[in-house]
Amino acid sequence: MVVRGGALGGRLLRWGRGAVRGAGWDLVRYDPLRSIESRRSVLLSRLGIRCVYDVGANIGQYGEGLRKNGYEGKIVSFEPLSSAYARLRERARADGRWDTHQVAVGAEAGELEIHVSRNSYSSSALPILEKHVTSAPESAYVSSEIAPVKPLDALVDRHELASTPSFLKIDVQGFEASVLDGAVETLRHMRGVELELSLEPLYEGQTLMAPMVERMRQLGFGLVSLEPGFAEPESGHLLQVDGIFTRFG
């Protein structure tokens, strides 16, 4: 039976959506620009990006997402934690255009204590705040690890940076400002930057969304895309988003 709109079609759609939501999913009209993955893919193509620097790669989710959405250029991933890095390296092993480096990225060279969260991807160099753990219990710290840290300016190939249209992604759980501090030269060559942004404090000492957006503006980048991250269950307040910035002009 084919249902072509009308009252019956509407009732069936509402019934189907209710059943799907009851199972913890949703049924929505497909829109290729609805997700940040699709919008990112369009932006990378429009900007002519041929190299993506992936700071805070965790186990390689971001790089794998780029590939699934059609990006064929080079990926350079940085991840300090040993267990996460092992999975990242394995994920990238068969990809000849995906390089991985086990190192933390910050303002200056040295060593850094990383607090390891239960879910791995919430791990940070900064102390986690109670609001974060209450809203996402799996983000609680369970151990710590010492990792080498270097500024991004010391990690990138200057010749390649100058000659290759590039994009920078930073997802370091509140440590974004320190990464930017060590990427002065690198940022001059970026056509776009993606940052995790917090609307409320989730890590001690982190820079929140509004001043980070202003900092990016001063660096010559405007905010062009936002994607909701996670929210506080009790209040419904959005706590974190992913923002994409592109260079003015």
* Burial (Cβ within 10 Å: 0-12, 13-18, ≥19) of residue 142: exposed
Q: Average pLDDT in the 64-92 region?
A: 97
Average pLDDT for the chain? 90
Can you give the pLDDT at residue 159? 77
In CATH terms, the superfamily for domain 32-103+153-247 is Vaccinia Virus protein VP39 (3.40.50.150)
How many residues are listed for the chain in this entry?
Answer: 249
| Model confidence, pTM | 0.86
Interval 188-205: pLDDT, tens: 999 999 999 999 999 999
3-state secondary structure string across 53-94: EEECCCCCHHHHHHHHCCCCCEEEEECCCHHHHHHHHHHHCC
CA dist 54 and 175 (Å) reads 14
Q: Cα(first)–Cα(last) distance of the chain, in Å?
A: 53
* Phi, psi at 242, each rounded to 5°: -105, 130
Contacts of 168 (CB under 8 A, 6+ apart): 52, 53, 55, 152, 183, 186, 187, 190, 192, 193, 194
What kind and span of H or E run contains 159? helix 158-163
Residue whose structure tokens are 């429009």: 46
Can you give the pLDDT at residue 249? 72
7: pLDDT confidence band, cut at 50, 70 and 90? low
Q: Average pLDDT in the 167-181 region?
A: 97
| pLDDT for residue 98 is more than 80 | yes
Cα 99 to the center of its chain, rounded Å: 18
Interval 150-164: pLDDT, tens: 999 999 988 788 899
